[in-house]
Amino acid sequence: MRNYLKHYINGEWVESTGNETEEVINPATEEVIGTISLGTKEDLDKAVQAARDAFPSFSKTPKEERIKLLENIAAEYENRKEEIIETITAELGSPKSISENVHYMMGYNHFSQAAESLRDFSFIEDRGGHTVMKDSVGVSGLITPWNFPTNQISTKIASAFAAGSPVVAKPAELTPFAAIILTEIFDKVGVPKGAFNLVNGSGSVIGDGISSHPDIDFVSFTGSGAVGQKIMQNASERIANVALELGGKSPLVVLEDADVENAARAAVSHIATNSGQVCSAATRVLVPSSMKDSFEEAIKKVLPEFPVGDPQGDNHIGPLVSQKQWNTVQSYIEKGQEEGATLLVGGTGKPEGLDKGYYAKPTVFTNVNNDMVIAQEEIFGPVTCLITYDTIEEAIEISNDVKYGLAGYVFGEDEQTLAKVASSIRAGRVKINDAEADFAAPFGGYKQSGIGREWGDYGIEEYLEVKTVLGYPKM
């Protein structure tokens, strides 16, 4: 049992001022695996005060010191590898291979990339007539979701530390344990007192408290659009800056000259990895009408490569995070059928033999019209839609005909067409074929997918204010 009933404030594990606790459930077994304290506004105030007190010195630490700090964090993170993998599998239900190759690695990459980006980062720039300086934004409040327990919190903390901003973090109640390991890592490597504070608790108390706190200068949030909107409203009361990483309904455009089987494999892998609980997942697959039949056959052929089952085994798809998320996904599958889309594979209910655990069937709808609810709303589960198109212009139009703009994917051979489609998709990140991941590349959304960019040097910029000095002495 993991019982973590303390918050981390001003460099110490401290008792909560309240008595409320929350049980954490393993989504594969539906069993309780631990408990956390639900913090109070008083706990949050103490954490914010600790961060405020740390600000004058932390924001002025030499760059070399902060690079070293990030490197030490990355090294200690590596030391905790097995525990991080095991914890993410237990709290999120992601198969061990995904916990290792995706979740563990993303956390590691953000800390080491931030150290790397900081090395080349300039906080002062002589621009001929004037000087531009970049100062830490102040105290940052970080609110993160359950779907990537190390990725989102790590990119935010790594960038904040690189910029010299002390933070108060609130992870999601559903998956709080990975953040506790991170906190132990910060404690071990000697993150200065007050520069990192962790207050566990509910979104309605601690999350809302962060977004409305008068002493928090900047709020970085990842999660749903509805909560993002509330955060902006709260922050607007004191004109505080916000960064929002929200949802997506990203297109995967298959071109006429694409390898059908590879593209179908990519389409399935988007809804298989993390059980489709990925903001940047492609969940609308745009296929040339002439390729519809062969693409549907290819989907059926590659599907068995992504078995669903116990995350402790060799499966690729684990359960969804919670009963609530399972119910949401089921209702979208029902909705798709009501709307007249055709089930190519999958459907409602649990996969055969998996009665315990929040497992859903990987589901592919075909004959989908882009106006349908299943094509417009983020389902956050293993469900995708096949939509046909006749011309490249139509594919681009359908790609952009959605309120989101987080990501896009294009598969094909002809470089001119690939470039045309990639540059026409209105989204913050577009991937062509199997292009490799790059943690220095900015990540964030257009339209209702968010505001701001995380990762690498763009991520560091979010935690900085820009100051112009006219007549600064040349030294």
Comparing CB distances to ligand TAP, the nearer of 296 and 462 is: 462
Comparing CB distances to ligand TAP, the nearer of 324 and 467 is: 324
Comparing CB distances to ligand TAP, the nearer of 74 and 206 is: 206
Residue 29: CB minimum distance to ligand TAP, A: 21
Which one of the listed residues 91, 279, 378, 454 is annotated catalytic?
Answer: 279
Residue 180: CB minimum distance to ligand TAP, A: 14
CA-to-CA dists, residue 457 to 2, 70, 111, 404, angstroms: 36, 14, 12, 24
- Return the structure tokens found at 396: 């681009």
- Return the structure tokens found at 458: 């763009």
Comparing CB distances to ligand TAP, the nearer of 97 and 328 is: 328
Q: Are 376 and 403 in contact (CB under 8 A)?
A: yes
Residue 206: CB minimum distance to ligand TAP, A: 8
C-alpha span between 198 and 294 (Å, rounded)? 51
C-alpha span between 374 and 329 (Å, rounded)? 10
Q: Are 250 and 406 in contact (CB under 8 A)?
A: yes
CA-to-CA dists, residue 68 to 61, 104, 109, 409, angstroms: 11, 21, 15, 36
Comparing CB distances to ligand TAP, the nearer of 37 and 144 is: 144
Comparing CB distances to ligand TAP, the nearer of 378 and 457 is: 378
Comparing CB distances to ligand TAP, the nearer of 60 and 324 is: 324
Q: Is 190 exposed, middle or buried (0-12, 13-18, 19+ CB in 10 A)?
A: exposed
Q: Is 385 a catalytic residue?
A: no
Residue type for position 130: H
Residue entry with tokens 């040349």: 474
C-alpha span between 389 and 148 (Å, rounded)? 33
- Return the structure tokens found at 440: 């220095």
3-state secondary structure 245-277: ECCCCEEEEECCCCCHHHHHHHHHHHHHHHHHC
Which stretches within 237-353 are classed as H helix? 260-272, 292-302, 323-338
Comparing CB distances to ligand TAP, the nearer of 173 and 457 is: 173
Q: Is 445 exposed, middle or buried (0-12, 13-18, 19+ CB in 10 A)?
A: buried
Residue 250: CB minimum distance to ligand TAP, A: 11
- A 10 A CB-CB count for 94 gives 30
| Length reported for the chain | 475
Q: Is 245 a catalytic residue?
A: yes
Residue entry with tokens 């684990």: 318
Residue 69: CB minimum distance to ligand TAP, A: 25
DSSP 393: H
Q: Which residues bind ligand TAP (CB under 6 A)?
A: 143-147, 170, 172-173, 202-204, 207-208, 211, 222-224, 227, 230-231, 245-247, 279, 328, 378, 380
Half-sphere exposure for 286 (CA within 13 Å, toward CB): 27
Residue entry with tokens 């988007």: 270
Which one of the listed residues 91, 245, 461, 462 is annotated catalytic?
Answer: 245
Q: Are 425 and 450 in contact (CB under 8 A)?
A: no
Residue 425: CB minimum distance to ligand TAP, A: 18
User: Is residue 145 classed as helix, strand or coil in its secondary structure?
Assistant: coil
Residue 287: CB minimum distance to ligand TAP, A: 24
271: nearest Cα among 297, 296, 250? 250
Residue 57: CB minimum distance to ligand TAP, A: 29
Residue 245: CB minimum distance to ligand TAP, A: 6
Comparing CB distances to ligand TAP, the nearer of 59 and 140 is: 140
- Which residues form the catalytic set? 245, 279
